[in-house]
């Protein structure tokens, strides 16, 4: 079962047990609570597994202790307990609670496994990634009869152990990133009406995970439900050649605006043209690398338009721009992520 969210009462966790056993939640909790261990004994329960255990409250942990105590004393039924919690680095979830000097928590801790009380589930190796891809081929076989993900196993492993996705250099792939990459590529493949995923789609999905791992997409617009006068005001602002939000910032704080430089062939623009999808995106270029490179020109990874950027409040943001209509070759030294999985300086 999953630990209750935003409800610290013991009843919230107790109701999860009853629901998992398929027992209706009838009557008051005070009359149902004493019967809980009896139901677990009747169903032959051997182990209680609680996911998201980092969300458990003191009341939840106390209930778990009471139930397991009752199983041993009243039913001679030893009941295993496994708490699955999310953690980061060497941090042990719930350790602060379990280390309290109160006798309750001393007893709780003494019942841990004698040899391995805390275990950590690491990410997946290259071979495990291949096995997972094989299982996904079976899962999606009905939709994609010719699906063959295993042929890309090595490449996918390399993409997903990129320093952005594996900052500790563990050489392991998380299930979350693997599923995001595969399902995104399969969604695109399904929309295209194809029966097998192409390498280009997998690569594009990997680039989204890496290049836009910390990308902040700005959603700006009055929307269809906004008052008419507000939308009219925004239209007038756009007619002046400025985005309304940027105009306010530029008028009040001119010193904090992002500098942009355009090439001569790109200066002819109209305010009514659609903006590139990378407009106002936060570039994930490391600021130390950016400052040390002495290169300020950045190429849009979507349309190849170039801009000269400078950090504002520690953030590099690509300004609103129209997509390039003529995809001519871009020259000059610049930061680029076109066809790559990370930003780098290219050109001479």
pLDDT, tens digit (0-9, with 9 covering 90-100), for 72-107: 999 999 999 999 988 776 788 888 888 888 888 888
Is residue 228 situated within a structural domain?
no
User: Do residues 105 and 17 share a domain?
Assistant: yes
Is residue 219 situated within a structural domain?
no
Residue 189 in tokens: 């493949």
Mean per-residue pLDDT, 163-184: 89
User: Do residues 106 and 19 share a domain?
Assistant: yes
Is residue 200 situated within a structural domain?
yes
47 pLDDT tier (thresholds 50, 70, 90): very high
Number of domains within the chain? 3
Cα(83)–Cα(48) distance, rounded to whole angstroms? 8
Closest CA to 271 of 299, 239, 248, 300: 239
Is residue 293 situated within a structural domain?
yes
Q: What residues pair up with 282 in beta bridges, in sequence order?
A: 317
Domain hosting 169: range is 126-211
Is residue 156 situated within a structural domain?
yes
Domain-terminating residue out of 110, 141, 165: 110
Cα(245)–Cα(113) distance, rounded to whole angstroms? 58
User: Do residues 187 and 272 share a domain?
Assistant: no
Give the single-character DSSP code of 272: T
Domain-terminating residue out of 63, 80, 110: 110
Give the single-character DSSP code of 299: E
User: Do residues 79 and 136 share a domain?
Assistant: no
Span of 32-41, 262-271, 283-292 with lowest mean pLDDT: 262-271
Is residue 14 situated within a structural domain?
yes
Is residue 240 situated within a structural domain?
no
Q: Are strands 80-83 and 334-336 parallel, antiparallel or unpaired?
A: unpaired
Domain-terminating residue out of 82, 110, 138: 110
User: Do residues 205 and 267 share a domain?
Assistant: no
User: Do residues 96 and 133 share a domain?
Assistant: no
User: Do residues 132 and 184 share a domain?
Assistant: yes
Closest CA to 336 of 272, 285, 263, 271: 285
User: Do residues 191 and 262 share a domain?
Assistant: no
Whole-prediction pTM: 0.50
Interacting residues of 185 by C-beta distance below 8 A, sequence separation 6+: 197, 201, 202, 204, 205
């Amino acid at each position: 079962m999953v630990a209750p969210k935003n409800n610290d009462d013991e009843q919230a966790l107790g109701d999860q047990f009853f629901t998992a056993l398929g027992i209706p939640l009838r009557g008051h909790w005070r009359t149902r609570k004493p019967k809980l261990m009896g139901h677990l004994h009747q169903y032959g329960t051997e182990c209680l597994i609680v996911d998201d255990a980092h969300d458990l409250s003191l009341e939840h942990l106390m209930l778990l202790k009471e139930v397991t105590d009752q199983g041993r004393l009243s039913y001679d039924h030893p009941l295993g307990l496994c708490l699955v919690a999310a953690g980061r680095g060497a941090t042990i979830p719930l350790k602060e609670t379990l280390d309290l000097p109160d006798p309750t928590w001393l007893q709780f801790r003494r019942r841990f496994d004698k040899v391995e009380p805390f275990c950590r589930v690491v990410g997946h190796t290259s071979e495990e990634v291949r096995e997972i891809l094989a299982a996904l081929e079976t899962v999606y076989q009905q939709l994609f009869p010719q699906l063959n993900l295993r042929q890309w196993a090595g490449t996918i492993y390399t993409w997903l152990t990129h320093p952005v996705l594996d900052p500790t250099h563990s050489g392991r792939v998380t299930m979350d990133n693997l599923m995001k990459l595969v399902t995104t590529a399969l969604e695109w493949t399904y929309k295209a009406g194809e029966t097998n995923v192409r390498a280009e789609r997998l690569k594009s999905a990997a680039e989204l995970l890496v290049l836009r791992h910390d990308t902040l997409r700005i959603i700006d617009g009055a929307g269809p439900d906004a008052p008419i006068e507000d939308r009219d005001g925004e239209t007038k602002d756009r007619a002046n050649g400025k985005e309304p939000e940027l105009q306010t910032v530029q008028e009040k704080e001119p010193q904090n605006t992002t500098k942009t430089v355009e090439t001569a062939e790109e200066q002819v623009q109209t305010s009514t043209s659609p903006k590139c999808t990378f407009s106002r995106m936060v570039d994930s270029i490391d600021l130390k690398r950016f400052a040390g490179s002495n290169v300020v020109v950045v190429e849009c990874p979507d349309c190849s338009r170039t801009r000269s950027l400078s950090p504002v409040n520690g953030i590099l943001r690509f300004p609103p721009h129209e997509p390039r209509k003529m995809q001519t070759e871009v020259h000059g030294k610049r930061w680029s992520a076109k066809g790559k999985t990370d930003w780098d300086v290219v050109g001479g």
